[in-house]
Structure 1
Amino acid sequence: MGKPFGATDWRAMSREQVDAGLNNGVAVAGSAEIGAGWVERSEAMKVRFPAHLELSYGPRERNRFDFLKAADGGPTLVLIHGGYWQMRSKDFFTCFAAGPMAHGINVAVIGYTLAPEATLDEIVAELHASVDALVAQLPSLGGDPARIIVSGWSAGGHLTATTLTHPAVKGGVAISGIYDLEPIRHSYLNEKLKLDEAMSKRNSPLLRDSGPAAPLSLVVGGNELPLLRQQTSDLAAFRAVRGLPVSYEEIAGADHFSIMKQLESPTGRITTLIKQMAERI
């Protein structure tokens, strides 16, 4: 798809330029206040749907998920929070269940261990373990274990792509993700992640020979940092040339944080993509 987004060759950048090119918190004014609003609205959602909170899928403290039930026997969306694998928690993200739930889609908001307590290998494995647990628990929770899709934002977009390889996952919607971890490895973000070249490459969808056959919708904001926009475009092209089902679109005018309005709203574009995917499985 070329390089239409400005300076996106991180290898030609200084360390300071790479750091700035990945720093969404600095790029978006008021990002801390936006995140605080997410937490507030997430707490309100949990008050509305208190029946299945803090369910365990593994031994570690953050191996928990909240299941918000919208419909008996309905599909389930696995929702993965962002924070560059080292910040935030599922409690920032519950508010975004509102859009899909309006269409009868159950939502499991997943927590995972953060770096440096966990390596990226371990984080990816935890997400797979969470899907294993969902498959086992969905019949008693009221969902259909044969209709699981996954979505996430930022680092959660990356984890969406890596969780798409789970055999129970029927499709994914990845939002503003990172799919080649090599620029991360050469940035300030690696102080906690501690990626070496081998770990970076085996966890980078763009650096694999191919990818999972389940459909993947890729979404990014039109006003996001060029490196993120390019990575989303590159993964779409990567999958297309390999004959893997993929769609790509930019949300005009959206930055890295405001794009999430398109998931929280029942009529948002990301909600629509999830609804359409759920209808096909």
Structure 2
Amino acid sequence: MEKSLKKMTRTQQELDLQYENGSFIPNAQSYADAWEAASAQFREAHAGEYDLAYGDHPRAIYDLIQPDSGPNGLFVFVHGGYWLSRHKDDWTCFGEGALMADWSIAHLGYPLAPDARISEITAHIANGITEAAQRVDGPIVLAGHSAGGHLVARMAMQGVLPAQVTARLSHVLSISPVSDLRPLLNLTMNDTLRLDAAEAAAESPALGRPMPDVPVTVVVGAQERPVFLDQATWLARAWDARHVILPGRHHFDVINDLRDAQSPMLRVALS
């Protein structure tokens, strides 16, 4: 019995490790520390409207920063953290490239599990984008990383955003997304996410289809965990989307190009 229990525990650990990034990236915490520091500096350097409410939950807030000249459109960033952690303030610096290209940038906060199920988080993101879209004219580009990559992909699907917002979507940039949620049913994190089979399927972009005429690019780092390479491939194949594998990048530095207005990733998204 004891041997059997140890075998079960080891198997669960192996399942969980498939979706664990930090343990496989040297000095992983240094990336989060650098994001937070750069984002704080970015907010100090740029006047903006911060912590604007788009809903009743304390985390249903967003930041809006406008360029000096008239904006080319609205760039929205949705952060990751497995729907369980992180805060929009940790990621402000990743709007730098879009702002340099004269786009207004919005960073969305959202309630986390277990306060909200993933389907509820999806609805919050749709509400936040809709609110921000009322403040800025022109095309809308959505970018998200990891769980945020999942959430922006959901926005590209029928019936999630209002028609008037969908009509303005010019590109969706899904970076290192979790596109099929069904494998998460077997992970320890699901004790907090509370996914069931029906919700996991309904919230999986790889099992659905994007709206026609909404360009989608799926980006992943070549050095990411095998399951993230798989998750990106599943979405790109299911949607016949542009699939970019960035050489030498892992889960924590694959988003760096968002800080560079001239990076190929951002130039394609904003074109």
Q: Is the 8 A contact 1:18 1:183 kept in 2?
A: no
Q: Is the 8 A contact 2:64 2:105 kept in 1?
A: yes
Distance 1:19 1:212 in 2: 33
Q: Is the 8 A contact 1:15 1:187 kept in 2?
A: yes
Where does 1:118-267 land on structure 2 (aligned, <5 Å)?
Answer: 118-136=116-134, 138=135, 143-144=136-137, 146-165=138-157, 166=161, 167=163, 168-169=165-166, 170=169, 171-208=171-208, 210-213=209-212, 214-240=214-240, 246-267=241-262
Question: Which secondary structure does the structure 2 equivalent of 1:250 belong to?
Answer: strand
Deviation string, structure 1 residues 106-163 (Cα, Å, up to 9, x no partner): 1100000000111111100000101221232x1xxxx21x411210001000001011
Pairwise CA distance, 1:236 = 0.9
Distance 1:202 1:51 in 2: 36
Distance 1:33 1:73 in 2: 33
Question: Which secondary structure does the structure 1 equivalent of 2:34 belong to?
Answer: helix
Distance 1:28 1:265 in 2: 23
Q: Is the 8 A contact 2:98 2:104 kept in 1?
A: yes
2:12 alignment partner, one of 11, 15, 27:
15
Deviation string, structure 1 residues 194-234 (Cα, Å, up to 9, x no partner): 101111111001123x2222111110000001111111111
Report which stretch shifted further, 152-161 or 30-39. 30-39
Amino acid at match of 1:36: D
List gaps (5 residues or longer) in structure 2: 1-9
Distance 2:124 2:229 in 1: 27
Pairwise CA distance, 1:192 = 1.1
Identity %: 27
Distance 1:83 1:115 in 2: 11
Distance 1:269 1:183 in 2: 32
When the two structures are superposed, what TM-score results if normalisation uses the length of structure 1? 0.86
Partner of 2:6 in structure 1? none
2:96 alignment partner, one of 95, 98, 114:
98
Partner of 2:266 in structure 1? 271
Partner of 1:58 in structure 2? 55
Q: Is the 8 A contact 1:150 1:164 kept in 2?
A: no
Deviation string, structure 1 residues 139-189 (Cα, Å, up to 9, x no partner): xxxx21x41121000100000101123231412001001000011121122
When the two structures are superposed, what TM-score results if normalisation uses the length of structure 2? 0.89
Q: Is the 8 A contact 1:100 1:271 kept in 2?
A: yes
Deviation string, structure 1 residues 17-61 (Cα, Å, up to 9, x no partner): 221110012121222121011011111111122331111111110
Question: Which secondary structure does the structure 1 equivalent of 2:139 belong to?
Answer: strand
Distance 2:223 2:33 in 1: 22
Q: Is the 8 A contact 2:77 2:106 kept in 1?
A: yes
Pairwise CA distance, 1:248 = 0.6
Q: C-alpha root-mean-square deviation of aligned residues, in Å?
A: 1.5
Question: Which secondary structure does the structure 1 equivalent of 2:113 belong to?
Answer: coil
Distance 1:151 1:232 in 2: 14
Report which stretch shifted further, 30-39 or 67-76. 67-76
Distance 1:235 1:266 in 2: 26
Amino acid at match of 2:63: D
Distance 1:75 1:176 in 2: 24
1:84 alignment partner, one of 82, 85, 95:
82
List gaps (5 residues or longer) in structure 1: 1-12, 241-245, 277-281
Pairwise CA distance, 1:238 = 0.7
Q: How many residues align?
A: 252
Deviation string, structure 1 residues 53-99 (Cα, Å, up to 9, x no partner): 11111111011111111242421111000000001010111011111
Partner of 1:32 in structure 2? 29
